[in-house]
C-alpha cells in the first residue's frame, strides 16, 4: 500500500455510494490550531511529559500542579480557532448523511467548527467534576479563578477528562464501537493510535469491512494495517477530501 496525498477512487466511491463515514481524531488535527500534541515536541509541561501530568496519580499527589496544566490548556483551547481540517469535516457532514466524528480530543474544536454528530471519548476540558459529591457540570470560562477549584460541597474539583487507568464513558464508547462496525469508511486523523481502547476502534471497523484510511504526516502504529494512507497535515489533506466529494456530488447531480 503506497502513501498518497489524494483520496483514492475506492474512498470517494464508497462515500459517493452513501456509505457511513466515521472519523476518529486525535491531537494531530488540532496541531494546526497551535495546540500541542501529547507525544510531539510540545508535549512537555514544566519539565515533565504531559502524559505523566495527565494522570490520577499526578492529581492525587499535587492537584494544584495538575490544575495549572489544565488551566493553561483551557486558555490555549479558548484562544484557538478550528482549522481547515476541523472545518472540512464539518463541511463533509453538512453535505451528506451518516457522518460521525469520534474524538479523543478534549478541546471542543470540532463542535466550534460546526460538527453536529460527535462523540468525546476522553471527556472535555469544559466539563468539571467534584471528586467528593461526583456532581458534574460545564464551565466554559477561560479563567477559573483560584486553583484548584472547589465544589459548593467543599470537595475538590477535577477536569472532566479521562486519565490513564480510568474508564471511558461507557455509553459514548459503546456508540462509537457500534458506529465503527457500521462504517463503510473509517478515517483516522492525527492520532498516534497508541492509546486504547480508542485505537481499537480502527481494527474493529476494518474487521467489519470498513475501508481504513489514515491521515497523518508521520507513520503510526496503524499505518501498516491501513488500506490507504493520506500522508500530510490534516489541514491540507481533509480539504482535498471535501473537494473530491464536492466534485463527485456534482457528477451525480
Under rule CB under 5 A, residue 130 binds Zn ion: yes
What is the residue-wise DSSP string for 148-213?
Answer: S-B-TTSPBEEEEEPPTTSPPPHHHHHHHHHHHHH-SEEEEES----STTTTHHHHHHHHTTPEEE
Interaction partner, residue 40 (ligand BJW, Zn ion, none; CB < 5-8 Å by kind): ligand BJW
Give me the least distance between CB of 18 and ligand BJW, in Å please. 27
Total residues found in the chain within this entry: 253
Distance CA 95, CA 241 (A): 13
| Beta-carbon contacts of residue 124 (< 8 Å; ≥ 6 apart) | 106, 108, 160, 161
Distance CA 160, CA 129 (A): 6
Interaction partner, residue 7 (Zn ion, ligand BJW, none; CB < 5-8 Å by kind): none
Quick check: 19 and 184 in contact, CB under 8 A? yes
Under rule CB under 5 A, residue 247 binds Zn ion: no
Part of the chain binding Zn ion (CB under 5 A), chosen from 1-9, 69-77, 132-140, 192-200: 132-140
Under rule CB under 6 A, residue 217 binds ligand BJW: yes
Under rule CB under 6 A, residue 234 binds ligand BJW: yes
Burial 30-45 (b: 16+ CB within 10 A, else e): bbbbebbbbbeeebeb
Give me the least distance between CB of 135 and Zn ion, in Å please. 5
Under rule CB under 5 A, residue 95 binds Zn ion: no
Of 24, 14, 21, 221, the closest CA to residue 119 belongs to 24
Under rule CB under 6 A, residue 88 binds ligand BJW: no
Q: In this complex, which beta carbon is closest to Zn ion, that of residue 72 or of residue 134?
A: 134
Instruction: Kindly identify the residues of this chain, within the stretch 148-167, that bind Zn ion according to CB under 5 A.
Output: 151, 153, 155
Q: In this complex, which beta carbon is closest to ligand BJW, that of residue 19 or of residue 129?
A: 129
Interaction partner, residue 115 (ligand BJW, Zn ion, none; CB < 5-8 Å by kind): none
Of 69, 67, 80, 114, the closest CA to residue 94 belongs to 114
- Dig out the grid coordinates for 101 from the structure: 466524528
Q: In this complex, which beta carbon is closest to ligand BJW, that of residue 65 or of residue 182?
A: 65
Catalytic (active-site) positions: 122
Distance CA 227, CA 3 (A): 10
Part of the chain binding Zn ion (CB under 5 A), chosen from 20-28, 54-62, 127-135, 231-239: 127-135
Under rule CB under 6 A, residue 104 binds ligand BJW: yes
Q: Which residues bind ligand BJW (CB under 6 A)?
A: 26-29, 31-32, 37-40, 51, 54, 104, 106, 122, 161-168, 190-192, 194-197, 215-218, 220, 233-235
Q: Which residues bind Zn ion (CB under 5 A)?
A: 130, 132-133, 151, 153, 155
Amino acid at each position: 500500500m503506497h502513501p498518497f496525498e489524494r483520496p483514492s477512487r475506492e474512498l470517494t466511491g464508497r462515500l459517493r455510494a452513501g456509505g457511513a463515514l466515521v472519523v476518529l481524531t486525535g491531537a494531530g488535527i488540532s496541531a494546526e490550531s497551535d495546540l500541542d500534541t501529547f507525544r510531539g515536541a510540545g508535549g512537555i509541561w514544566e519539565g515533565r511529559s504531559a502524559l505523566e501530568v495527565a494522570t490520577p496519580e499526578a492529581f492525587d499527589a499535587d492537584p494544584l500542579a495538575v490544575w495549572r496544566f489544565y488551566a493553561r490548556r483551557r486558555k490555549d483551547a479558548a484562544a484557538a480557532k478550528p482549522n481547515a481540517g476541523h472545518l472540512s469535516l464539518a463541511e463533509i457532514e453538512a453535505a451528506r448523511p451518516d457522518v460521525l466524528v469520534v474524538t479523543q480530543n478534549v478541546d471542543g474544536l470540532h463542535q466550534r467548527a460546526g460538527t453536529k454528530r460527535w462523540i468525546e471519548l476522553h471527556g472535555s476540558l469544559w466539563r468539571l467534576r467534584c471528586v467528593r459529591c461526583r456532581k458534574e457540570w460545564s464551565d466554559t470560562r477561560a479563567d477559573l479563578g483560584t486553583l484548584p477549584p472547589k465544589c459548593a460541597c467543599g470537595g475538590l474539583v477535577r477536569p472532566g477528562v479521562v486519565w490513564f487507568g480510568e474508564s471511558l464513558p461507557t455509553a459514548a464508547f459503546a456508540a462509537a464501537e457500534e458506529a465503527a462496525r457500521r462504517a463503510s469508511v473509517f478515517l483516522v486523523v492525527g492520532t498516534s493510535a497508541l492509546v486504547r481502547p480508542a485505537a481499537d476502534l480502527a481494527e474493529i471497523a476494518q474487521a467489519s469491512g470498513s475501508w481504513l484510511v489514515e491521515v497523518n504526516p508521520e507513520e503510526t502504529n496503524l499505518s501498516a494495517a491501513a488500506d490507504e494512507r493520506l500522508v500530510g497535515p490534516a489541514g491540507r489533506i481533509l480539504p482535498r477530501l471535501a473537494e473530491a466529494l464536492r466534485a463527485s456530488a456534482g457528477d451525480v447531480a
